[in-house]
Amino acid sequence: MHKLFSTISIFLLALSTTTLNVEAQLPGNYPPLDTPPPPVASWTALVDQTKLPKAPVRPPGTPCPPTDEFCVWSCTTCTRPDTDFSFCPNKGDWALTYDDGPTNNTLKVLDALNARGLKGTFFAIGSRVVESPQILKQVVDAGHQVGVHTWSHTALTSQTTEEIIAEVKWTEMAIKQAVGLTPKWFRAPQGDADDRVRGILKQLGYKMAFWNHDTFDWESNSDPTYDLNWIPANFTIWVQNTTATTGFASLEHDAFNKSSSMAETAMDIVLKANFKPQSVGVCTGDKQPYVENVTLLPSNIKAQNSVSTGTGTGTGTGTGTSSTAGQNSTSTKISASQPSVISKSGASPVERNLLLGVVCGLIMMILGFVGTV
């Protein structure tokens, strides 16, 4: 009997220390993942559509107009100073931003930031929040900023006003349920926004976040010719801009395995060049980054000899263009694929449910056997 209970104890201890810890999805009646969610009348009513600019809906594949009448960022990197962020205003500041999570790869980025005492901004997809709410909670608990990145990662200028509102509000609701906070910062997928999109987001209480340094790291998920060394090579070029009178903002993704592994090296290049990485909220001096009364703390940079530093050895010229502060990246590339969703343990939802069933079955068998002894 003593041996039996010892075996049971060892088995239960193993369960608590392995990847068998199953991550539950966010409870609630949410729309299907990764597809444009249904409009909700009460949310649609929050926007006075008579006050929106008359920018036309642009179906996917629509060529950019010869004249950019409605400031389409994905066509001309046009920005509006009263609503748009694309770089930190203060020289020496650097906004580290990460899109498309939360996924298990977010944890790599999170560990690297925390080890260096840095704070970043994570723009979350609603569908991913439903899949991995606990990962988003780890992000918030560590003092990083969270923003909205739509529900389905659809190009917004291709959607109706009702659809755009639904993309924002469903994601907002999921984030609120997962971490208890309502973001006031938003990033459009692929940077695809025009004055109509800006008008919608402004009425919903959001500020628009773009960037001025793009790693194009999402290409590593689908393009076998993408060289990961381009990421540190580009950062190495960008930090050499000593004539800029403002700071910078870089775009990376925490959704992809390969590119997430390079985030640590990028951080070290920025730090070695004596820049101060911050969240978007901190570098802009935003005292109200959430609807709730929450103050974001600045980075508390740790000595570099106390962390494992990466070295960027790539010599490629990179797929992103180096740009001076106050200018946006000139790319109009649009991601055509989305990452598969896996949990912190690396298991898909189906695998997690199957694994949970097996584990519960084993426990019931053991307990049943004990009852007969």
Q: Provide the annotated active-site residues.
A: 99, 253
Task: Please compute Rg for the chain using Cα positions.
Answer: 22
Q: Are 352 and 343 in contact (CB under 8 A)?
A: yes
CB atoms within 10 A of CB 356: 14
Residue in the block written with tokens 């560590």: 142
Evaluate the CA torsion angle 52, 57, 61, 67 in order and state its sign: negative
Least Cα distance to 142 among 262, 258, 279 occurs for 279
Sequence-ordered alpha helix ranges (H) in the chain = 2-17, 41-44, 73-76, 106-116, 126-131, 133-141, 161-179, 195-203, 230-238, 257-260, 263-272, 280-283, 349-372
Pick from 183, 350, 187: which is nearest to 253 by CA? 187
**Token pair in block for residue 295:** 């103050």
Cβ atoms 148, 123 nearer than 8 A: yes
**DSSP H helical segments within 290-348, as ranges?**
none
Count of residues in the chain: 373
Other C-beta atoms lying within 10 Å of the C-beta of residue 290: 23
Query: What single-letter amino acid sits at 289?
Result: P
Per DSSP, 220 falls in state: G
Kindly give, in sequence order, each residue whose CB lies less than 8 Å from that of residue 161, ignoring residues fewer than 6 positions away. Answer: 44, 47, 49, 52, 196, 200
Q: At what angle do helices 161-179 and 133-141 cross, to 10 degrees?
A: 70
